[in-house]
């Protein structure tokens, strides 16, 4: 499969009064045509800064995308594009949806017109054609009574419906990549599952590549083809969905897996939460950033960031436990995750 997007050594900081916040620290990954990549990690680990960098939505200053970072879309560096090229990329090639659709939808404009707008600009349709297409898009995202809904305003939609409408807007120009940043975080659990099903269904139907960003590993199992785990601005483990669910190697990934609510135990109210907090990105630790919270921490972990260990063509991890001289640690039994 062809590589659509290649992010290489992406490094992003924000200059604040308190100093330089090192939000993203050398992140690299690829996205191939039609695949779904999940980026998972606790709040504050650099997921949104990564996705906004791809869309060139980081304000500089206070942000700074460091020299040496590359974001290649079909081989061309987004970080070097001029305004005209960027407009094309944003309108036609890559679309993004955010956690709270209310902040991205225009409250004063009918939903249909909001979908039609981008069709008129980017696909050269006239108003009538664009509104007809808007009805089709609302049907595509399973909004009932699309003919009526197309003439309604965002406040007439429920939270889940608004997120569906956002997805319709994002997909209207048939982008090659959809970036969905915590698309279900603001929604209740049943609606979350419906939106995830919708993303998977559309991904199958339209072949759009999806970057799905979430703090909840539980929601991605049935949607993602591969997963990368971020921590303190770095990717600490990545692999296919099966590799990460059944053969994870990083204690942080284990902790995330343990935090997934499970349906099959009697202890569903006792949700596991990871002790401690992520490090301050104003002064990231020199060693492994997870060391201070890790149950398996060794002296070396506090002193040096572990190199990348490749476990398969697709699976890799940064952890000192992979060193040949490290004690053998068995992954804790995490049990049947909702896969
Ligand atoms: N505009 C900004 N100014 C200063 N710090 C920022 C800014 N945007 C993000 N950050 C910091 O960058 C880090 C990563 O943020 P973010 O990518 O939003 O995390 P996530 O999406 O994983 O929750 C956080 O420590 C956050 O406080
Ligand atoms: Mg975020």
Counting from 1 in the atom list of ligand 1, the atom nearest the Cα of 16 is 4
Does pLDDT of 263 surpass 60?
no
- 104 CA to middle of ligand 1, Å? 19
Looking at residue 4, what is its pLDDT?
95
What is the best residue among 17, 44, 51, 232 to mutate for testing ligand 1's pocket, by most ligand atoms within 8 Å of CB? 44
Q: 26 burial class (0-12, 13-18, 19+ CB within 10 angstroms)?
A: middle
Residue 133 pLDDT class (50, 70, 90 cuts): very high
Residue 266, pLDDT above cutoff 60: no
- Mutation test residue for ligand 1: of 20, 23, 211, the one with most atoms within 8 Å of CB: 23
Tell me the three state secondary structure of residue 305.
coil
Highest average pLDDT, of 14-23, 121-130, 170-179, 201-210, comes from 14-23
Atom of ligand 1 nearest to the CA of 213: 21
Average pLDDT, integer, range 200-216: 92
Distance between Cα 52 and ligand 1 center (Å): 11
* CB of 49 sitting under 6 A from ligand 1: yes
Separation of first and last alpha carbons in the chain: 25
Beta bridge partners of 7: 29, 71
In terms of Cβ atoms closer than 10 Å to its own Cβ (0-12, 13-18, 19+), residue 59 is exposed
Identify the band that residue 25 occupies on the pLDDT scale cut at 50, 70 and 90.
very high
Does residue 245 have a pLDDT over 90?
Answer: yes
Which stretch of 149-153, 193-197, 230-234 has the lowest confidence by average pLDDT? 193-197
Atom number, ligand 1, closest to the C-alpha of residue 182: 21
Q: Which residues of 188-209 are buried (b: 16+ CB within 10 A; e: fewer)?
A: eeebbebbbebbbebbeeeebb
- Tens of pLDDT, residues 71-124: 999 999 999 999 999 999 987 899 998 877 677 889 999 999 999 998 998 888
Please identify, by atom number, the ligand 1 atom nearest to the C-alpha of residue 59.
1
pLDDT at 36 over 70: yes
Residue 338 has pLDDT above 50, yes or no: no
State the DSSP code for 92. Answer: I
Which of the listed residues 48, 185, 235 should we mutate to test ligand 1's pocket, taking the one with most ligand atoms within 8 A of CB?
Answer: 48
Average pLDDT, the chain: 91
62 CB within 6 A, ligand 1: yes
Task: Look at the block and give the residue holding tokens 């993203």.
Answer: 24
**Residue 267 pLDDT more than 60?**
no
Q: What is the pLDDT of residue 264?
A: 55
The rounded Å distance from CA 214 to ligand 2 centre is: 8
pLDDT tens-digit readout, 148-179 = 999 999 999 998 899 899 999 988 888 999 99
Give distance in angstroms: CA of 151 to centre of ligand 2. 31
Instruction: Please determine, for residue 41, whether its predicted confidence score (pLDDT) is greater than 60.
Output: yes
Q: Could you identify the atom of ligand 1 that is nearest to the CA of residue 52?
A: 17
Tell me the pLDDT tens digit for each residue of 287-310.
Answer: 999 999 999 999 999 999 999 999
List pLDDT tens digits, range 305-337: 999 999 999 999 999 999 999 888 888 876 555
Establish whether residue 232 lines the binding site of ligand 1, counting it when its CB lies within 6 angstroms of any ligand atom. no
Give, for ligand 1, the residue of 11, 12, 14 to mutate: max count of ligand atoms closer than 8 Å to Cβ.
Answer: 14
CB of residue 60 inside a 6 A radius of ligand 1: no
Give the closest residue to 227 by CA, choosing from 264, 260, 192: 260
Which has the higher per-residue pLDDT, 261 or 301? Answer: 301
Task: Choose between 239 and 330: higher pLDDT.
Answer: 239
């Amino acid at each position: 499969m062809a590589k659509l997007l290649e992010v290489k050594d992406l490094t992003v900081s924000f200059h604040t009064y308190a100093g330089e916040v090192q939000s993203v620290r050398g992140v690299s990954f690829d996205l191939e045509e039609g695949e779904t990549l999940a980026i998972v990690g606790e709040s504050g680990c650099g997921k949104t800064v990564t996705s906004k960098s791809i869309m060139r939505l980081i304000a500089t200053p206070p942000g700074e995308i460091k020299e040496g970072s590359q974001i290649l879309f079909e081989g061309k560096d987004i970080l070097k594009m001029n305004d005209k090229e960027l407009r094309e990329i944003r309108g036609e090639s890559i679309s993004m949806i955010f956690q709270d659709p209310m902040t991205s939808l225009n409250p004063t404009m009918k939903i249909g017109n909001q979908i039609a707008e981008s069709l008129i600009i980017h696909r050269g349709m006239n108003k009538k054609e664009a509104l007809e297409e808007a009805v089709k898009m609302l049907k595509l995202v399973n909004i009932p009574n699309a003919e009526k809904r197309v003439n309604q305003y965002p406040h007439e939609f429920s939270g889940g419906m608004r997120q569906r409408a956002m997805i319709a807007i994002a997909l209207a120009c048939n982008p090659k990549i959809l970036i969905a940043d915590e698309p279900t975080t603001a929604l209740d659990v049943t609606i979350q599952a419906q939106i995830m099903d919708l993303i998977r269904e559309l991904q199958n139907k339209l072949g759009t590549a999806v970057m799905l960003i979430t703090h909840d590993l539980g929601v991605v199992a049935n949607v993602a083809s591969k997963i990368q785990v971020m921590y303190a601005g770095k990717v600490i483990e990545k692999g296919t969905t099966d590799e990460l669910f059944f053969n994870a190697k990083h204690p942080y990934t284990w902790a995330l897996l343990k935090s997934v609510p499970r349906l099959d135990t009697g202890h569903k109210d006792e949700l596991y939460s990871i002790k401690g907090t992520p490090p301050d990105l104003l002064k990231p630790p020199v060693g492994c950033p997870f060391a201070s919270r890790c149950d398996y921490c060794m002296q070396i972990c506090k002193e040096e960031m572990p190199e990348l260990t490749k476990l398969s063509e697709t699976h890799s991890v940064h952890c000192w436990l992979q060193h040949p001289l490290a004690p053998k640690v068995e992954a804790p039994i995490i049990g049947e995750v909702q896969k």
